[in-house]
Copies of this chain bind each other. A is one copy, B any other.
Amino acid sequence: MRLSRYFLPVLKETPSEAQIASHRLMLRAGMIKQASAGIYSWLPLGYKVLRNVERIVHEEQQRAGHIPMLMPTLQSADLWRESGRYDAYGPEMLRIRDRHERDLLFGPTNEEMITDIFRSHVSSYKSLPMTLYHIQWKFRDEVRPRFGVMRGREFLMKDGYNFDVDYDSAIHAYNRHMVSYLRTYERMGLKAIPMRAESGPIGGDDTHEFLVLAETGESEVFYDSAITDLTFGDRDVDYDNREECAAIVKEWTTPYARTDDTHDESVFAEVPEDRQRRSRGIEVGQIFYFGTKYSEPMGATVVNDQGEHVPVHMGSHGIGVSRLLGAIIEASHDDNGIIWPEGVTPFDCGIVNLKQGDAEADSACEGLYHALRKKGLEPLYDDREERAGAKFATMDLIGLPWRITVGPRGLKNGVVELTSRRTGESEEMSPEAAVDRVAQIYSGT
């Protein structure tokens, strides 16, 4: 993309309404614009990151064998009356009446709807195990929406639901989700720690939240520092293998890690003192096993291998897709702006032309632009007639991890400059070498 043809409305002023870094930076970098309280438009740069996060979630869900589909945003109130949640949910549920005076609601989650789909179409254990998921816009009418996309009202979420014939199989689904989530967050450059949590209005006997450490997090967290040393890496997991998934879950759930809801000082005291950490965290996902809580009242049963009708065991598993953008920025920024991890960056590499209009500089930039695209990369070429300082400031603000700087002086020696946004370190090299280096960096993502 050439910046002269893009819509990137960066702000020079720091917006006064934004209290935390991610909100401030998303507004300043022209990623979002508030439409109403807690409701945002995703401007082109923000939309690109949102799509990247969504793509990683899709890829990892499908790698784990989960099946994508899509449920609508609006739901019939009748389904929620069946489960008893229509009245129980409270004022966070946005209730709507259509022209025929039928009660609808903007879905805050989809347990009822997916259970209805399941009971309409599945009747035998032979169709199990099955996990269906979707990524759809949800609405929760927060009293005080704040912190930008971190606590918005309309938000994008992946929610997945497993259907299993018995407890053991459902626990494997739970474990499979935990494993796939570990991998998902790591691909986004995040350290997200699974912590034992309390169940909310969804209900559940077994549940973990995934928290990203950040000073601005809304939850207080307590953990053994050993857990932050764990990395998932590129393990080749067989998601059908119960023992393998259980072993990974054990690895991540053995060190103490809890939110204030479940924190137990006496257990925490057993962690070696130099490894005890008290901090704050941002919730970016949650997994639940809730057994037959919905399948029983809603009559979602299957015939098992004994010929008996049994209610299916279910769980639900969520990732806060839009919220993740805030969490990533909270975890990865500096005074000059955002620092995107390679996995989610909106453009792979910036190209800064120090002397727009200079034939040689223009031609070198064009060459880099095409060479990067030919490697399957997406560069953002700042081809505006602006001072170098302004161009650098924009690139730092929007946080592309790599920048190639092109100027007449370097070109005389046949070199351009490759700069890391994270370290600030620069290296001079030929344009070809710069292209190869950037391609090499992204070859693993």
Interface set of A (CB-CB < 8 Å, partner B): 5-7, 9, 30, 33, 35-37, 39-44, 46-48, 50, 65, 67-76, 91-92, 94, 96, 98-99, 102, 104, 106, 113, 117, 120-122, 127, 130, 132, 134, 137, 139, 141, 143, 153-154
Tell me whether B141 and A99 are in contact (CB under 8 A): yes
Given contacts A6-B67, A36-B104, A47-B68, 15 further A-B contacts (CB under 8 A): A5-B65, A7-B130, A30-B121, A35-B71, A35-B74, A36-B102, A39-B72, A42-B69, A44-B68, A44-B69, A47-B70, A72-B137, A91-B99, A94-B96, A98-B153
Bound form: Cα–Cα A67–B46 in Å: 12
A42 / chain B contacts, CB cutoff of 8 Å:
69-71
Tell me whether A75 and B44 are in contact (CB under 8 A): no
Tell me whether A41 and B99 are in contact (CB under 8 A): no
Q: Chain B: which residue is nearest A141 at the CB level?
A: B99
Tell me whether B69 and A35 are in contact (CB under 8 A): no
Tell me whether A98 and B102 are in contact (CB under 8 A): no
Q: Which 9 A-B pairs have the closest CB atoms?
A: A9-B121, A42-B70, A36-B76, A41-B71, A47-B69, A91-B99, A44-B69, A99-B141, A39-B72
**Interchain nearest-CB distance for A113 vs B (Å):** 6
With A91-B99, A96-B96, A99-B141: A154-B73 Cβ-Cβ less than 8 Å: yes
**Interchain nearest-CB distance for A149 vs B (Å):** 11
**Interchain nearest-CB distance for A98 vs B (Å):** 6
Bound form: Cα–Cα A35–B46 in Å: 31
With A113-B41, A137-B137: A72-B35 Cβ-Cβ less than 8 Å: yes
A73 / chain B contacts, CB cutoff of 8 Å:
73, 137, 154
Pick the contact of A41: B35, B39, B117, B139 (CB < 8 A): B117
**Interchain nearest-CB distance for A42 vs B (Å):** 4
Bound form: Cα–Cα A39–B143 in Å: 28
Tell me whether B41 and A67 are in contact (CB under 8 A): no
**Interchain nearest-CB distance for A154 vs B (Å):** 5
A40 / chain B contacts, CB cutoff of 8 Å:
72
Tell me whether B132 and A72 are in contact (CB under 8 A): no
A127 / chain B contacts, CB cutoff of 8 Å:
7
Q: Chain B: which residue is nearest A71 at the CB level?
A: B41
Pick the contact of A44: B9, B67, B72, B76 (CB < 8 A): B67
A30 / chain B contacts, CB cutoff of 8 Å:
121
A153 / chain B contacts, CB cutoff of 8 Å:
74, 98
Tell me whether B36 and A74 are in contact (CB under 8 A): yes
With A41-B113, A44-B68: A75-B35 Cβ-Cβ less than 8 Å: yes
Tell me whether A69 and B41 are in contact (CB under 8 A): yes
A46 / chain B contacts, CB cutoff of 8 Å:
69
Tell me whether A132 and B7 are in contact (CB under 8 A): yes
A65 / chain B contacts, CB cutoff of 8 Å:
5
- Of residues A30, A35, A102, A134, which shows the largest number of chain B Cβ atoms within 10 Å of its Cβ? A35
Tell me whether B9 and A122 are in contact (CB under 8 A): yes
Q: Chain B: which residue is nearest A107 at the CB level?
A: B35
Tell me whether B99 and A33 are in contact (CB under 8 A): no
A91 / chain B contacts, CB cutoff of 8 Å:
99
A71 / chain B contacts, CB cutoff of 8 Å:
35, 41-42
10 cross-chain CB contacts under 8 A: A9-B120, A35-B71, A35-B72, A35-B75, A35-B76, A36-B102, A41-B113, A43-B117, A72-B154, A94-B96
Tell me whether A139 and B74 are in contact (CB under 8 A): yes
Q: Chain B: which residue is nearest A51 at the CB level?
A: B68
With A70-B50, A132-B44: A36-B75 Cβ-Cβ less than 8 Å: yes
Bound form: Cα–Cα A403–B43 in Å: 43
With A68-B44, A94-B96: A120-B74 Cβ-Cβ less than 8 Å: no
A76 / chain B contacts, CB cutoff of 8 Å:
35-36, 39
